[in-house]
């Protein structure tokens, strides 16, 4: 497969893909995506075959302070600015947050391994310029059963101190994000005809924890 950097022409596709599964009231915008890749555009890539998109890997490279704020609920994906993004000329510690990872062709096997292999090659290139570079963590805000299964079962990521109160429900093919800790409120929505999809989770992995991820990203 051919791998290329995300371009502005791809932004709508990425935002539409994310909105379909996580229609948050504070969505990422095209301007925010542009900020994510102001220093290292190679963290957002499209996988193509025969000029057709087969998969996407949208990772956000963050400096230590910002990654820690993100996984603790003090910073949202949509609130990034230039100061939050990893800068290889001044930062030695990198937190990798996955905004979206998805294969668009069922014939592709173990797309998550293809993605990790790509990230490994990316980091090897970065370390040639920044020899003291250290990946301090890996994370994803998961809002689908498939995403949670990938991050929990394949990557061994866990919910830490920050537990998201958001739940995904669906009615007539349209999903909503319901923020509550009340089982009663959730049940009311189900009584209104909504199907319960999943609870959103901020899933986090540290280098001290065993994971397939570190077989690639050491």
Structure confidence at residue 44 (pLDDT): 98
Residues 158 and 174 in one domain: no
Give residue-wise pLDDT tens across range 94-108. 999 999 999 998 889
Residues 109 and 99 in one domain: yes
- Does this model's pTM top 0.75? My answer is yes
Residue 101 belongs to domain with CATH number? 3.40.630.30
**33, 114 contact by CB (below 8 A):** no
Structure confidence at residue 107 (pLDDT): 85
Residues 191 and 109 in one domain: no
**What is the tally of structural domains in the chain?**
2
Residues 111 and 125 in one domain: yes
Phi and psi (nearest 5°) for 53? -75, 125
Share of the chain above pLDDT 70, in %: 100
Residues 96 and 84 in one domain: yes
Q: Which two tokens stand for residue 94?
A: 């990198």
Structure confidence at residue 162 (pLDDT): 96
Whether residue 57 is predicted with pLDDT greater than 90 in this model: the reply is: yes
As a whole number of angstroms, the distance between CA 190 and CA 65 comes to: 39
Mean pLDDT score across all residues of the chain: 96
Q: Which two tokens stand for residue 60?
A: 């956000």
Q: Which domain holds residue 56?
A: 2-163+201-217
**205, 211 contact by CB (below 8 A):** yes
Residues 169 and 61 in one domain: no
State how far Cα 174 lies from the chain centre: 22
Give residue-wise pLDDT tens across range 111-152. 999 999 999 999 999 999 999 999 999 999 999 999 999 999
> What is the mean predicted confidence (pLDDT) over 23-48?
97
Structure confidence at residue 51 (pLDDT): 87
Which residues are CB-neighbours of 106 under 8 A, at least 6 positions away? none
């Amino acid at each position: 497969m051919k791998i290329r950097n995300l371009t502005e022409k791809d932004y709508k596709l990425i935002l539409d893909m994310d909105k379909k599964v996580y229609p948050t009231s504070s969505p990422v915008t095209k301007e925010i995506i542009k900020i994510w890749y102001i220093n290292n555009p190679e963290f957002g890539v499209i996988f193509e075959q025969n000029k057709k998109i087969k998969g996407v890997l949208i990772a956000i490279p963050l400096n230590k302070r910002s990654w820690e704020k993100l996984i603790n609920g003090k910073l949202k994906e949509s609130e990034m600015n230039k100061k939050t993004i990893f800068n290889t000329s001044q930062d030695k510690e990198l937190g990798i947050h996955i905004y979206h990872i998805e294969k668009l062709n069922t014939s592709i096997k173990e797309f998550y391994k293809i993605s990790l292999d790509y990230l490994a090659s990316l980091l090897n290139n970065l370390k040639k310029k920044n020899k003291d570079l250290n990946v301090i963590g890996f994370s994803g805000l998961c809002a689908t059963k498939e995403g949670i299964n990938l991050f929990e079962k394949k990557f061994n990521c866990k919910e830490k101190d920050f537990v998201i109160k958001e739940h995904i429900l669906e009615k007539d093919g349209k999903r909503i994000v319901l923020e509550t800790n009340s089982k009663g409120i959730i049940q009311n929505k189900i009584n209104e005809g909504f199907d319960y999809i999943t609870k959103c989770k901020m899933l986090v992995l540290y280098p001290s924890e065993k994971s397939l991820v570190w077989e690639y990203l050491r």
